[in-house]
Amino acid sequence: MTKPVVLIAEELSPATVEALGPDFEIRKVDGTDRPALLAALADANAVLIRSATKMDAEAIAAAPKLQVIARAGVGLDNVEIPAATKAGVMVVNAPTSNIISAAELTIGHILSLARHIPAAHASLNAGEWKRSKYTGTELFEKTVGIIGLGRIGTLITQRLQAFGVKVVAYDPYVTAARAQQLGVELLDLDELLKASDFITIHMPKTPETTGMIAGPQLALMKPTAYIVNVARGGLIDEAALAEALRNNVIAGAGLDVFTSEPPKDDALTSLPNVVVTPHLGASTDEAQEKAGVSVARSVKLALEGNLVPDAVNVAGGVIDPFVRPGIALVEKLGQVFAGLAGKEALTRLDVDVRGELAAYDVSVYKLAALKGYFTNIVSEKVSYVNAPLLAEQRGIEVTLTTGDESKDYRNTTTLKGILADGTVVSVAGTLSGTKMVEKIIGLNEYEIEVPLAHHHVVMVYADRPGIVAVYGKAFGEADINIANMQIARDEAGGKALSVLTVDSPVPAEILSSVAAAISAEELIEIDITE
């Protein structure tokens, strides 16, 4: 029997090949040699790459037998995921392979800033001996602020304890109980900026977090404070940071990531009070080996037809065909739930599956719900393997219940959660008709029926005449097309819930003006990513 072909397109550790085992034919090719790569892909069932090999639509089309693309690392910029998904090719990476390396590099930047190590090294290399010029500061009894208390933020917290520092954190999705377990004081962002001697950022890069540290935030910091970014380029406004460093608004910065890599100019890298590294967060032998071994195991699972925890575009695994279509729906319901919950921390999430699905193993739905919930919340790439761990780290209790009875639909899945302030949030969905249309059928106990789309606006207000005209006019004047609209109410003259499907994102100022105009109790936009 012919063995499946695994193509290794870049240099990987011997442990990676060992992890694959003897059941595959291993072939190698230089992934940067485009003609050679395309030729080698013709027979490949799986391909293992790092950052240099480009797996775009052309490469995927050249690989008719390809089942899985494995990136031995975290980023996936060199993989065209939509093209892979369309071709039915699974994409996997190693989302947790570099977390220790990234945490340790962060500590290295903090120490380098505190003791001026790079500048002192350069000075001595130049034949100088200027001890007084490089007088530093101790970490002991200083305050370190961590923006984003996910897995990397938690690792940094644990390592900082040995220095005798006070750790404060900003993370709206972490409960006070979890912070207490870590020995961390939760603050709002402005309070953290004012209180900290060192600040390190570990947030996902989203439209909301891009430029989250700009001129006004830097102005809140102590003139003796330092800021570090080893997470994502663009979280700090680089022009504002350069100005703050030049004018001594803050003492210094440590940067491993940049908006453009490599940086287009030396506005930051040439400043004397900045320590820079060329995106070395994952650049350790251990992280590279972990990444290779991790994706090798995923490739083996995929080619053997088992559940692949780190698949970023499909669920994978031995899942009943009747269950599989609902996975994408539940992930999207998780995103809707996160939008409804806002920035309030989640303490409990119940996933309830009703109807014919109850006769099958739907445990993957619990994972899908968590994956969807965390998708736009954490900096890590969320997968089916780390979603439960992310929940555990945040003290979120997760349950799955099933039942045969489904009142109005063949099958329903409901996500119901309790937030830290006691608020109960719920969203229900179903797959409708022969085309399996994904629909929201319930929001916070209101019954609706809205096909899921990329952009929804949800509003709650006192039921009265003229409201539709108000927000319809506002959106029309802003050139925002309303593609669908559903209104539900608890009783005539009571509260009403409107769910709009819009063709494009709604600017924050439009949302604010509409909320004020209709005296909305709640008005939010929920954007759903594929």
Task: Enumerate long-range contacts of 37-40, CB under 8 Å, 24 or more apart.
Answer: 37/9, 38/62, 40/7, 40/9
The β-bridge partners of 75 are none
**Residues with catalytic annotation?**
232, 261, 279
Provide the token pair at 14.
């011997």
Rounded-to-integer distance, Cα 473 and Cα 355, Å: 41
Query: DSSP E strands: which ranges in 32-191?
Result: 46-49, 68-71, 90-92, 143-147, 166-170, 185-186
Rounded distance between C-alpha atoms, residue 147 and residue 202, angstroms: 6
- Binning the chain into helix, strand and coil, the percentages to the nearest 5 are 35, 25, 40
Residue 213 phi/psi, 5-degree rounding, is -110, 105
SS3 420: coil
How are strands ordered across the β-sheet holding 143-147?
A: 185-186, 166-170, 143-147, 198-201, 226-229, 252-255, 274-276
Q: How far from the centroid of its chain's Cα atoms is residue 42's Cα? A: 33
How many angstroms separate the CA atoms of 221 and 213, rounded?
Answer: 11
Nearest alpha-carbon partner for 143 in 169, 118, 162: 169
Instruction: List 432's β-bridge partners, or say none.
Output: 437
Q: Which of 529, 389, 145 is nearest to 380 (CA)?
A: 389
β 46-49/68-71 pair status: parallel
What gap in Å lies between CA 440 and CA 248, rounded to an integer? 52
Edge-first strand order for the sheet with 482-489 is 482-489, 495-502, 455-462, 522-527
- Phi/psi at 127 (5° precision): 90, 10
Contact 147, 201 (CB under 8 A): yes
- CA–CA distances in Å: residue 29 to residues 44, 84, 457, 458: 11, 20, 49, 51
Report the Cα 154 to chain-centroid distance in Å. Answer: 16
